[in-house]
Each structure stands twice: as structure tokens, then as C-alpha cells.
Amino acid sequence: MPHEQASVWQSCLVVLKKELHSQSYQTWIEPLEVQHIDPNQVVLVAPDAFFSDWVEEHYRLSIERAVYEVTSWRPSFSYSFTSQSESTENNFPDPKPVTRPVSSFPLNPRYRFDNFIVGDSNEFAFSAAKAVAEAPGKTSFNPFVIYSEVGLGKTHLLQAIGDYCLKMGTAQNVVYITAEKFISDYITSIRKRDMAKFVSTYRSADLLLVDDIQFFFVTEGSQREFFHTFNALFQNEKQIVLSADCAPPSLKGFEPRLISRFQCGLVASIDSPDLETRIAILCHKAEQQSLELDQDVAQHIAEVYSTNVRELEGALTRVVALSKLTHQPITKELVSKTLPHLRAEPRRIVVNDVLEAVCQFYGLSRSDLIGSSRKKEVASARHISMYLSKTLTSASLKLIGAELGGRDHSTVIHGCKKVEMNLKADLLLKRQIDQLRNKINVFSTKAA
Ligand code: ADP
Ligand code: MG
């Protein structure tokens, strides 16, 4: 490149360095090289396509301004890639980087196709999931969206796709993430100014599985970032699989462009399983644990628990626990002894139910919750416990404080106020509180 061109770019860099935050400058501008620059055209060399996409989306204006400031030119911009030029120079195939992104969850080995019981309610979703797993990115099922109410097997199917692709080698880099984790990673990466890692984690996926996308309504920024990730993967024919708690058009708080993206592949729903399928699921779960479960016993449980599979599993677990505790075989009589209790009218909710639910929900120990930790997550869970105890139980503020590690009633008032205030603006919190309320109701019913 002629010397004058190089020095023009050097002057642009001086301007950019002044304008941008130093971390952004180092991360996104410094690695760029200029291949060509004249009044009509600038060709920048970026390490790879996602890098140039990012620069284009976020820094293009700044670069244009800098070029104009230095030269008064208004050239057009294009990009070329370092990695491409390297791979054409030798005949060896590029080793594919198999990065295990730190932020994605490992797959749960329990969730596989071979232990997913198929019935009328889920057959369509199941067979589409298998087709996707056999040829990720190559079918018209992209994106593939599964929706259903809770506990009907969305997470199971999503992870089964990942499991299958890894085992059969149909996709190398499988990334499974919940939307909530995606959002919190996004926020952390902004705070730590480490956007490059965040972006590359998701955009390098061959198969991106995003669970519970209904949570994306929470923040605009993360939704936008997800939109760009989605487009980048889609354009590169990478497979995207999403789950949601309702059909895409009913998703609340989403930009219309995202909703329409969600619907351009295949959308499949899972319904509540019918009685036969519920019995089959129970028998299968029992078999996996090497339990003897008679058909009529299974039927008895399946008749009582009709809404979702998670509930069904829970019922089986409790019956099995009772059988072990009392050294009795699992018979219809034993089941009958437990089921009426499990389905009893809800008893009054007590503070303990709230604390139990909050600990489970946020993955905290009871001693953390009632202890003196000032960590933000713990303090916030504590405030939520106060708020829920005040609104759901008949306990006095004094009692609530006592159960929360001996805090006085003004601390409880303060905690409740804080939650009430945050609830006005924080949709994620609102949703969590709703989920916690449900959980607490279930607890108090089952423990009655
Ligand atoms: P969702 O993500 O829709 O809330 P999950 O995938 O977490 O539901 O399913 C809840 C539980 O039920 C899991 O333990 C899952 O393995 C089990 N499950 C759901 N559907 C089936 C099925 N058809 N066969 C076997 N297990 C199932
Ligand atoms: Mg799930």
C-alpha cells in the first residue's frame, strides 16, 4: 500500500482513538488493517466476518467521520478477511475451532431422543427435532421454534438435538443457552467491555439452542444483540433452535422484525400428553430407575396428574420415596394413600414456604438467605422473601423479620418497599415474582 494511504489511515486512527473508549478502540479498531483507501473506497481487513459485522454495526459511523475529518472524503466501505487470505495460500483445510463457550450451559445427559416418549401431543415437534438434528442448517426448518406450556418437554427436545448433533457429528460447536443467561452475559460483557468474546461465543456456533426466548422482552439491547446473532448465523446457514412459552405471534414485548424472523422456519407446538402417553412416560421413568410399576398403578397416577410431565415425574418421585421410607411395595393402595394429600386444598402459606421457594429459585442456601451477606443477589432475594411473605402469608412484619435471621420490622418494611418500587419498571423481576408465587402455591398444596 502506498505510503500516503498508510499515513491517511494513521491520521484517522488518531481521531478514532480520541473519540472512542480506549477498550473499544483496542478491541475493534486496532486489529483492523487498511488494504486500500482513496476518495472513493476504503477496504478494511478484519480477522473474520463476525468482527467486520460488529465494526460495521457499531463503528462504521465513527470511522466515516474520522476519514472525513482527515481528508474530506466520503468513500464507500468494504471488508476483507485475514483468515480467508491465509486459507487460500495453503492447501490444508482450516482447522475448525471447536470452542466450548464458557457462558453456555453444558447439556444435561438426561435429555436425549431415545428417552423421549412420543405420543400424539408431541410427535410433530419430535420428528421435526430429529430432522433438524440430522441435518442442522440444511433443512428449511431454520429457525426451528418449539413452544408449549411448562413441563411438556421443550428443554428436553432442545438439548436432545444438541446431544444428537454432537454424538453423530452433524454439528461441531453446539451452544445451549437460556435467554435469561444470554441477557445476563450480554449485560456482563458490556460492563466488562468484553463484547468481542460475547459476540464470538454465539456467532461461532454451528447450532445455537436458545431456551425460553420469552424472556428477551426484558431489555432492548439484548434483544437487538440477539437479532444480530440470529441474522449472522442464519446467513451462514447455521441452525437456530428456539423454545418459547407461547406461539411467536403472541410473544409480548418483541420487535415485529424478530417475531417475523422466528416464523420463517418451522414452528411446532407440544400439547399436554394424553392418558396413554402419560402412562407410557411413567412406565419409562420407572424402568429407568429399575422400579417395578404395575400398569394399573401407573394409570392411577397418570389419571390424577394430567397437566404436565414435570408434575407427573414429581408424583412418581414422591410415591417412590414413600415406598422406600415405609418399606412397602408400590401398589395402588400406597399411591392412593399419598395422592389425596398431594391434591388436597391448599393450606395457609407460611413464611417457611416462601423461603424454601426463594432459595430453590435463586439457588441459594437457607443460611445465605437469612445470613448477613450483602452480595447483591442475596440481598435482593432477601427483599423478595420479605415482600412475598408480607403479601402471601398472614405473618406479622416482626415474625417475618425473625424468620429471616432476626431482622427487625423496619428492615422488612424497607425490603418490601424496595421490591414494590422495582416492580414498577423491572419486567424480569415481575416475571420472577409471578413464578415464585406459583411455586409457593404448589409447595403449600403439596405439603398440606
Ligand atoms: P419444559 O422445558 O417444556 O418446561 P422440560 O423439557 O423441562 O419441559 O420437561 C420436564 C420434565 O419432563 C423433564 O424431566 C423431561 O425429561 C420430562 N419430559 C417431558 N416430556 C417428556 C417425554 N415426552 N418423554 C419423557 N420425558 C419427558
Ligand atoms: Mg424448559
Is the pLDDT confidence value at 144 over 90? yes
Cα–ligand 2 centroid distance for 212 (angstroms):
7
Helix axes 295-304, 332-342, angle to 10 degrees: 10
Does the beta carbon of 431 sit less than 6 angstroms from any atom of ligand 1?
Answer: no
Mean pLDDT, range 425-443, rounded to an integer? 83
Is the pLDDT confidence value at 253 over 50? yes
Does the beta carbon of 62 sit less than 6 angstroms from any atom of ligand 1?
Answer: no
The minimum-distance atom of ligand 1 relative to the CA of 152 is 3
DSSP code string of 285-351: HHHHTT----HHHHHHHHHH--S-HHHHHHHHHHHHHHHHHHT----HHHHHHHHHHHTSPP----H
List domains and CATH numbers for the chain: 3-84 (3.30.300.180), 102-269 (3.40.50.300), 275-342 (1.10.8), 351-447 (1.10.1750.10)
Q: What is the pLDDT of residues 260-314, one digit of tens each?
A: 999 999 999 999 998 899 999 999 999 988 888 888 899 988 888 877 898 888 8
pLDDT at res. 389? 95
**Greater model confidence, 379 or 300:** 379
Q: Is the pTM of this model over 0.75?
A: no
Q: Whose CA is nearest to atom 21 of ligand 1?
A: 153
In eight-state DSSP terms, residue 107 is P
Are 191 and 203 spatial neighbours (Cβ–Cβ below 8 Å)? no
Tell me the sheet residues that pair with 36.
43
Q: What is the pLDDT of residues 122-143, one digit of tens each?
A: 999 999 999 999 999 998 999 9
- Separation CA 20–CA 1 (nearest Å): 26
| CA-wise closest residue to 117 among 242, 245, 282 | 282
Determine phi and psi for 98, rounding to 5 degrees.
Answer: -95, 90
Is the pLDDT confidence value at 214 over 60? yes
Tell me the sheet residues that pair with 81.
46
Cα–ligand 2 centroid distance for 162 (angstroms):
15
Does the beta carbon of 285 sit less than 6 angstroms from any atom of ligand 1?
Answer: no
pLDDT at res. 85? 39
Q: Whose CA is nearest to atom 26 of ligand 1?
A: 116
At 3, the pLDDT band (50, 70, 90 cuts) reads confident
The minimum-distance atom of ligand 1 relative to the CA of 116 is 24
pLDDT at res. 96? 38
- Separation CA 81–CA 67 (nearest Å): 21
Does the beta carbon of 155 sit less than 6 angstroms from any atom of ligand 1?
Answer: yes
Does the beta carbon of 281 sit less than 6 angstroms from any atom of ligand 1?
Answer: yes
Pocket test for ligand 1, best of 114, 214, 310 (most atoms within 8 A of CB): 310
pLDDT at res. 320? 86
- Separation CA 216–CA 242 (nearest Å): 12
**Total residues belonging to the chain:** 448
Q: What is the pLDDT of residues 306-365, one digit of tens each?
A: 778 988 888 888 888 888 888 888 888 888 777 654 444 456 788 999 999 999 988 899
Q: Provide the pairing of β-strand 174-178 with 144-147.
A: unpaired
